[in-house]
Structure 1
Amino acid sequence: MDIQRGEDRSIHPAPTEHFTGDVQIEWLFAAPDPARVNGVRVTFQPGARTAWHTHPLGQTLYITEGKGRVQRDCGAVEEVGVGDVVMFAPGEKHWHGATSDSTMTHIAVQERLDGSHIDWLDKVTDAEYEGEA
């Protein structure tokens, strides 16, 4: 058993090469091998978002605060809120972030495959964020 105390974790700014706007990340857990799962809590300020990306084994988001936007490649921008669960299939290109007038926090859970849990792509343009592209 491993107990990770909340007061022992730290929150860090998200890397600007993969995020637009003010985003904070708190690593919650990363299971040791042979397990592959890890989880983070991510807080997006209004208008902030990830870049396009994929996960080799998929990703599940649980929205815990605020309102957000999510989109998969070739799909419509969808609004999500507290209590919503969003599941992206393995390899599905997508992005997620806050709406323009609300913060959004989610718990993200994904698994590693061959040591990687994410593949970053291009940043989401303002037009894509607004659902105009």
Structure 2
Amino acid sequence: MKNLWIKMFAAIMLLAGNVNAQQTGKTKTTALNFIFEKGTPGPAQNFTGRAWNVGLVANDTVYNTVVGNVYFEPGARSNWHIHPAGQILMITDGKGFHQIKGQAKKMLKKGDIVECPPNVAHWHGASAETGMLQLYILPKTEKGIVTWLQKVTDEEYAKN
């Protein structure tokens, strides 16, 4: 547990320091401050547009928590999905959206924290003009990680 808290504290300290990180890959990302490496592309069956993921804390039977970072290119978004124990998002740069099924879409910006309730369909992603960086925390992974659902339609994405 101590190691997990050390990693989380280090991530928060990096955020507070507004660290400029290196650009990786071919996508223009200079407008955002990367704290962690860009990671690997998310699977096309789970995302519209390009999203990149890097795991920071792997799941195990001690912490039962997953922590990672996602970069959504402008216009990119996740499919609708469900986390059995919920999800916490920390927006570290850029602009984007989050929506819980049946509720209005909400704007996200640097510094926002979102609590996605357990077993509730939701999606998140970047705005059309600006990419978004987010840390995600998946607690109580013994309950499961994620169930991917249908794509967010262009109409759902564009709706206010």
Please, what TM-score do these two structures have when normalized by structure 2? 0.74
Note if 1:11 corresponds to 2:61: no
Residue correspondences, number:
127
Matched, 1:28 2:56: yes
- Give 1 or 2: higher helix fraction: 2
Match of 2:111 in 1: 83
**Counterparts of 1:113 and 1:124, CA distance in 2:** 27
Gaps of 5+ in 1: none
Aligned-residue RMSD, C-alpha: 1.9
Show the counterpart of 2:65: 37
Moved over 3 A (4+): 1-4
**Aligned runs of 1:37-56 on 2, under 5 Å?**
37-56=65-84
CA displacement, residues 38-66 of structure 1 (integer Å, 9 cap, x when unaligned): 01100001100000001000000000010
Structure with bigger RCO (C-alpha 8 Å, 6+ apart): 1
Q: Which has the higher strand share?
A: 1
Match of 2:142 in 1: 113
TM-score, L = length of structure 1: 0.88
Instruction: Tell me which amino acid in the other structure corresponds to 1:113.
Output: E
Contact 2:38/2:71 (8 A) holds in 1: no
Counterpart-to-counterpart distance in 1, 2:129 and 2:38: 26
1:19–1:50 Cα contact (<8 Å) kept: yes
Q: Percent identity?
A: 36
The partner residue of 1:66 within 94, 110, 121 is 94
Instruction: Say whether residues 1:104 and 2:137 are aligned partners.
Output: no
